[in-house]
């Protein structure tokens, strides 16, 4: 029963412990986190050990295969649901390793594995369905969404902008309440290899702050894969989306010792991450109002099909209230600003 599957999958939080790096070991670093069973870890703190629970815990020995083992979320996206997977953690905790993998792709992460699994599942179902896969890839940097496809698209205006910045993308909501990225270029892919090649092009356009940890990414990476499937027997069409997100480091601005534009980066990263935390708290507590609108990241990343009707009604009534305000202004002969609309 797909509805049952959806409820079961509403939000799941996994914990992955990464092994200590050679440098950390050489500096005499101690291991302070330990998996105690499938669902819990202990963390050494100055006030003694603390225990934390998760839907699943992966130890430092867990391989990339172990992590990806369960492909049911990919199946759900193909079945027409909106699925989002993201990695959260401080700089160097292993988000990019988990989502993307190592540079040489000897240990591919969730994103390339998801591309392969997606096309494998579609191939297995090709006698009953025809599929169309398209993708957009975005970067959220200093609260600005940028299209990572745009600057290799060869459009003249792109090159005239400073720092090779791609054009702006806006978050919009369609009449059905589904969030989409307006202005984002989507590209079709007919194989996992093609999709991966698009991903590599997109990654080459990301911002990396030069003076911080070289490996550190200071922006959120958002990969949206849309799957349209047509039932060959009755012609019905469904569309689902798999969003794969590699978040920027979650450390606090004060700790990074960052200045000026770096501080601005850290602040906007923190703002969007704490907004994400608020949304997840509201969703898991099943609160009637989910504060999606507090940041671009949450407007985009956490729109799930399982959102309660109440939350949806709240958003709609807010939009209707705005609309009423605009109508009132127009009636009384006042001017209407672009923001109002």
Ligand X SMILES: Nc1ncnc2c1ncn2[C@@H]1O[C@H](COP(=O)(O)OP(=O)(O)OP(=O)(O)O)[C@@H](O)[C@H]1O
d(CA 275, CA 294): 6
Q: Is the dihedral of CA 122, 14, 97, 183 positive or negative?
A: positive
Residue 146 — φ and ψ, nearest 5°? Answer: -125, 145
Is 92 one of the annotated binding-site residues? yes
The count of residues interacting with ligand X (CB under 6 A) is 18
Q: Which residue has 């209407």 as its token pair?
A: 336
Q: How far is the CB of 43 from ligand X (least distance, A)?
A: 17
Q: Which residue has 């991450």 as its token pair?
A: 273
Q: How far is the CB of 210 from ligand X (least distance, A)?
A: 13
Q: Is the dihedral of CA 76, 242, 89, 275 positive or negative?
A: negative
| Residue selected from 216, 238, 267, 270 as contacting ligand X according to rule CB under 6 A | 216
Is 95 one of the annotated binding-site residues? yes
CA dihedral 258, 259, 265, 271 (to 10 degrees): 80
Q: How far is the CB of 250 from ligand X (least distance, A)?
A: 8
Binding span for ligand X by CB under 6 A among 13-21, 150-158, 224-232, 294-302: 13-21
Q: How far is the CB of 64 from ligand X (least distance, A)?
A: 8
Binding span for ligand X by CB under 6 A among 126-134, 208-216, 314-322, 333-341: 208-216
Is 90 one of the annotated binding-site residues? yes
d(CA 164, CA 261): 17
- The DSSP line for 24-66 is HHHTTPPP-EEEEETTEEEEEETTEEEEEE-SEEE-TT--HHH
Closest to ligand X by CB, 16 or 303: 16
Closest to ligand X by CB, 282 or 301: 301
Site for ligand X contains 94 (CB under 6 A): yes
Site for ligand X contains 108 (CB under 6 A): no
Site for ligand X contains 89 (CB under 6 A): yes
Closest to ligand X by CB, 96 or 268: 96
Is 211 one of the annotated binding-site residues? no
The number of C-alpha atoms within 13 Å of 281 and in the hemisphere containing its C-beta is: 7
Is 101 one of the annotated binding-site residues? no
E-assigned strands of the chain? 14-16, 33-37, 40-45, 48-53, 56-58, 82-87, 129-141, 144-147, 170-173, 179-182, 187-189, 220-231, 237-246
Q: How far is the CB of 291 from ligand X (least distance, A)?
A: 24
Site for ligand X contains 102 (CB under 6 A): yes
Contact between residue 166 and residue 158 where contact means Cβ atoms under 8 Å apart: yes
Site for ligand X contains 91 (CB under 6 A): yes
Site for ligand X contains 19 (CB under 6 A): yes
Site for ligand X contains 97 (CB under 6 A): yes
Site for ligand X contains 55 (CB under 6 A): no
Is 298 one of the annotated binding-site residues? no
* Contacts of residue 334, Cβ cutoff 8 Å, sequence gap at least 6: none
| Residue selected from 191, 213, 312, 322 as contacting ligand X according to rule CB under 6 A | 213
Q: How far is the CB of 184 from ligand X (least distance, A)?
A: 23
The three-state secondary structure class of 6 is helix
Binding span for ligand X by CB under 6 A among 38-46, 85-93, 118-126, 190-198: 85-93
Q: Report the site for ligand X in 309-338 (rule: CB under 6 A).
A: none
Closest residue to ligand X in the complex (CB): 94
* Contacts of residue 262, Cβ cutoff 8 Å, sequence gap at least 6: 209, 211, 212, 218, 256
Binding site for ligand X (CB under 6 A): 18-19, 21, 89, 91-97, 102, 213, 215-217, 248-249
Residue ranges of the binding site for ATP: 89-96
């Amino acid at each position: 029963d797909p509805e049952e599957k959806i409820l079961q999958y509403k939000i799941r939080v996994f914990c992955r412990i990464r092994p200590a790096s050679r440098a950390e070991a050489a500096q005499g670093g101690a291991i302070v986190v330990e998996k105690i069973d499938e669902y819990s870890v202990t963390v050494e703190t100055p006030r003694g050990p603390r225990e934390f629970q998760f839907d699943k815990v992966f130890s430092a020995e867990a391989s990339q295969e172990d992590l990806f083992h369960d492909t049911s979320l990919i199946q759900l996206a193909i079945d027409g649901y909106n699925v989002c997977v993201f990695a959260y953690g401080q700089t160097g905790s292993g988000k990019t390793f988990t989502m993307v993998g190592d540079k040489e792709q000897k240990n591919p992460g969730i994103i390339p594995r998801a591309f392969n699994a997606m096309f494998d599942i579609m191939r297995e179902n090709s006698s009953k369905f025809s599929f169309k896969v398209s993708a957009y890839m975005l970067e959220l940097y200093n609260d600005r969404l940028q299209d990572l496809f745009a600057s290799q698209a060869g459009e003249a205006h792109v090159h005239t902008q400073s720092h090779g910045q791609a054009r702006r993308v806006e978050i919009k909501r369609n009449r059905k309440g589904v969030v989409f990225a307006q202005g984002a270029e989507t590209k079709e892919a007919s194989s996992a290899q093609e999709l991966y090649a698009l991903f590599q092009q997109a990654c080459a356009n990301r911002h990396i702050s030069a003076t911080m940890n070289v490996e550190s990414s200071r922006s959120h990476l958002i990969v949206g894969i849309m799957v349209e499937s047509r039932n060959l027997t009755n012609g019905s069409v469904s569309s689902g989306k798999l969003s794969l997100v590699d978040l920027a480091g979650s450390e606090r601005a004060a700790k990074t010792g960052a200045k000026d534009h770096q501080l601005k980066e850290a602040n906007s990263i923190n703002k969007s991450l704490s907004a994400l935390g608020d949304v997840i708290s509201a969703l898991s507590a099943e609160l009637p109002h989910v504060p999606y609108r507090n940041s671009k990241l949450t407007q985009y990343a956490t729109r799930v099909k399982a959102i309660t009707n109440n939350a949806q009604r709240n958003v709609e009534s807010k939009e209707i209230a705005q609309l009423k305000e605009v109508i009132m202004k127009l009636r009384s002969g006042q001017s209407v600003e672009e923001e109002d609309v």
